[in-house]
Chain A
Amino acid sequence: MYKLLIIFSFLLPLFAAGQNNFSPCTDETAFRINYKEMSAKINTLKADFLQEKSISMLKDKLVSHGSFYFKKDSKVRMEFTQPFKYLFILNGNKIFITDSQNKKTQTNAGSSKIFRKINQLISGTINGALLSGNDFDSRIFENNRQYLLELKPNIKEIREFFSQFKIYIDKQTYQVEKMEMIELSGDKTTITYSNRLLNIPLNDSLFTVN
């Protein structure tokens, strides 16, 4: 019995690691077509998100979570609720921020290439527009459960901050499950989505701040 337990405890991590192993995607064309088609069907999305910031000089990750909203074509609302309240809205060329002190800021993203590109990146993961254009060099991997889309930025303004983005996409639904933003220093922000609701009515007022 003990021998079995010992063998099992050795095998479990190996088995788990094997599940995460990604190999190059065997049919990239099919992935691109299916991802684009499935994304085109998403008009709205509401999900919970968990954000984890890994900073090299901190032992623990900085964890926060909240609600994520998307409305076609590129309206995004990230509402942090724990451990603090913070609201971040991208609506076309405008960025609205309400911080934990309830101070509101509005910025014109149109005047800043980096904000425009970050908007395109976040909404592009959902509406499928990410794979078109030359903003990123992409590589596609797969395992038995997910596709992994690795994106290296070609744009100078993004390359200044990030070395790579990793998008984890469910193989059955083609929905984004996790996004990793890896900085030049190796520090990393991971956003994991859960409890997704697709194509539910979302009022436009969610994407603005009064």
Chain B
Amino acid sequence: MIRCLLSISFLLFFFGGFSKETRQPVAFMLKQNCFNWDSTMVYRANISFNEYQFSGIIVFNTVDFKTYRMIMTPEVGPTLIDLNLTCEKYTRNYVARKLNRKALLQMFWEDFGTLLGLFSIAKQVEKDYDNVTDCFGLAKKKLVCYSFCNEAVFPENAFFYFKDKLNTKFTYFYQPNMQPDSIKIEHLKFNLNYSLYKVK
């Protein structure tokens, strides 16, 4: 939060006198770099994959200005996944042996990186998708797009595209100027869905 405020005041000071055309991208960058998250967020999560269900707690914590730490732990039992997430990559702090699969961890990185707005420091690209405000290009023809409603700090939706096809849809539910109290993530190519409900 303090980091965001400092960044905002710094950028306002330097860009305040510039023309409207210059201010607009900065405003978007601010929205998407910070999303005004608190330094620690705790969400109760229900994850369903085909007939399997995971119910537990997901904690996000800011490590530094570009890194989030993410922990996933079930209601009953030990921590299963502990990752550091940045715009460029994920690093493992701890992953339970059976979940230690590159494809799975890559997917968590893409999903939670999109959710947190981590990829918004990637190169911004122009796209004319419906209802989309800003798009950012990742490697290997992957694209993350957000749609903002007016001057909201958090997006209404996020979309993850692969080769121009929509892979994953994120929906944020929140009161204006508040952090999202619930988030829904739907994978369209296979039956994997998340529901996150804010605990604190």
Interface residues of A (CB under 8 A from B): 53, 55, 57-60, 62, 64, 78, 80, 83-84, 86, 88, 97, 99-101, 103, 105, 118, 160-162, 181, 183-185, 187, 189
A and B contact pairs by CB, cutoff 8 A, 24 listed: A57-B40, A57-B59, A57-B71, A58-B42, A58-B59, A58-B61, A60-B200, A64-B75, A78-B76, A84-B44, A97-B55, A100-B44, A100-B197, A101-B195, A103-B48, A118-B77, A161-B78, A161-B96, A162-B78, A183-B79, A184-B94, A185-B79, A185-B82, A185-B93
User: Which residue of chain B lies nearest to A161 when distances are taken between CB atoms in the complex?
Assistant: B78
Q: Which of B42, B52, B78, B93 has most chain A Cβ within 10 Å?
A: B78
- Asked if B79 contacts A57 (CB within 8 A), the reply is no
Task: Tell me the minimal C-beta distance from A133 to chain B in angstroms.
Answer: 22
Q: Which of B52, B57, B69, B93 has most chain A Cβ within 10 Å?
A: B57
B140 located at the interface, meaning its Cβ lies under 8 Å from any Cβ of chain A in the complex: no
Task: Tell me the minimal C-beta distance from A188 to chain B in angstroms.
Answer: 10
CA distance A80 to B53 in the complex (A): 17
Taking CB atoms, residues of chain A closer than 8 Å to B96 are: 160-161
B141 located at the interface, meaning its Cβ lies under 8 Å from any Cβ of chain A in the complex: no
Task: Tell whether A55 pairs with B79 under 8 Å between CB atoms, given A97-B55, A161-B96.
Answer: yes
Chain B: how many interface residues by the 8 Å CB criterion? 29
Taking CB atoms, residues of chain B closer than 8 Å to A99 are: 46, 53, 55
B147 located at the interface, meaning its Cβ lies under 8 Å from any Cβ of chain A in the complex: no
Task: Tell whether A189 pairs with B78 under 8 Å between CB atoms, given A53-B73, A97-B55, A100-B55.
Answer: yes
CA distance A86 to B57 in the complex (A): 12
Select B52's contact among A105, A162, A183, A185, beta carbons within 8 Å: A105
CA distance A59 to B97 in the complex (A): 27
User: Which residue of chain B lies nearest to A53 when distances are taken between CB atoms in the complex?
Assistant: B73
Taking CB atoms, residues of chain B closer than 8 Å to A185 are: 79, 82, 93-94
CA distance A97 to B54 in the complex (A): 10
CA distance A88 to B94 in the complex (A): 25
Task: Tell me the minimal C-beta distance from A163 to chain B in angstroms.
Answer: 10
